[in-house]
Amino acid sequence: MVAIGNALFAAAAATVSTSSGSGTTSSLGAHQFQLADCSIDNFVPQFPAGQTQLVAPSQPPKFIGLAFGVQNYTCSTGNNFTSAGAVAELIDVSCIVSSPGFSTIQNDLYSFWTTLVPYSIQSIIDFLHIVNPPEILAQHYFVTNPITGQGISPKWDFTSSGKFQGVQDAFIIAKGKGTIPSPDDPTHDIAWLDVVQVEGDIASEVFRFDTVGGQPPSSCTYGKDKDISVKYVSKYIFYGGSLS
């Protein structure tokens, strides 16, 4: 498992040159690149032109994470897979947003995540919590909708590691605001999203973009096909919030 943890961080930095940043390097020793704790005040995510669903705020972003994990699905009575949430780990990649390979880094990590990693996302998260490297930004999972008490809502949880460890309100539970199909391959890659805060103080708005993977098969047989988990990688960028 130690080797897997090292390799995941190496994959996340694979396209970055050694001049990507200065300062401390990974505590896992998997690479010589600084990934975390750099300013992203001037970073603007690239959303497709001609659409109004995803519009970045004019204020600077606060955090950016490269996520790897799974999208979960269950087979519905309509014989199609419907979302049952997701589980993912977010790596702080703030120090490499200006590097040439940043725009495609999600593809490098996806290739590694889908072909070489034999462990479940939860076992990797559990291991990384023990190691507690500084690059870990947050965990992403779903909780019961706090407004209705029914259904599920996405949560990004910053409370288990880093400078927000133990900070009670260092999370965001969100609801949907906007969505567009992936501009690359919507049959393979999950949609890009804009969600806004319902609870928590770490951010007021989150965008998911540069998605790779995560889409389920187009159909299933209700009562026969089991729940499935589909691996994915994406970037998440966070705005607003009262914690810094």
Backbone angles phi, psi at 154, to 5 degrees: -75, 145
Q: What is the pLDDT of residue 244?
A: 80
Task: DSSP for 174-227, please give it.
Answer: EEEEEEE--SS-TTTBPPEEEEEEEE-SS-SEEEEEEEEEBPPPS---TTTSPP
Overall domain count for the chain: 1
Residue 74 lies in a domain: yes
Task: List the structure tokens of 167.
Answer: 């900070």
Q: What is the pLDDT of residue 7?
A: 53
Residue 48 lies in a domain: no
Amino acid at 235: K
How many angstroms separate the CA atoms of 92 and 3, rounded? Answer: 20
Residue 193 lies in a domain: yes
Reading the chain (244 residues) residue by residue, the pLDDT tens digits are 545 555 555 555 443 433 344 333 443 333 345 668 899 999 999 999 999 999 999 999 999 999 999 999 999 999 999 999 999 999 999 999 998 889 999 999 999 999 877 889 999 888 888 887 878 999 999 999 999 999 999 999 999 888 899 999 999 999 999 999 999 999 999 999 999 999 999 999 999 999 999 999 999 999 999 999 999 999 999 999 999 8
Residue 58 lies in a domain: no
Contact criterion met (CB below 8 Å) for 45 and 207: yes
Residue 47 lies in a domain: no
Residue 124 lies in a domain: yes
How many angstroms separate the CA atoms of 61 and 205, rounded? Answer: 10
Percentage helix, strand, coil, to 5, in the chain? 20, 35, 50
How many angstroms separate the CA atoms of 82 and 63, rounded? Answer: 29
Tell me which residue range forms the domain holding 139: 2-40+63-239
Question: pTM for the full model?
Answer: 0.89
Residue 205 lies in a domain: yes
Residue 182 lies in a domain: yes
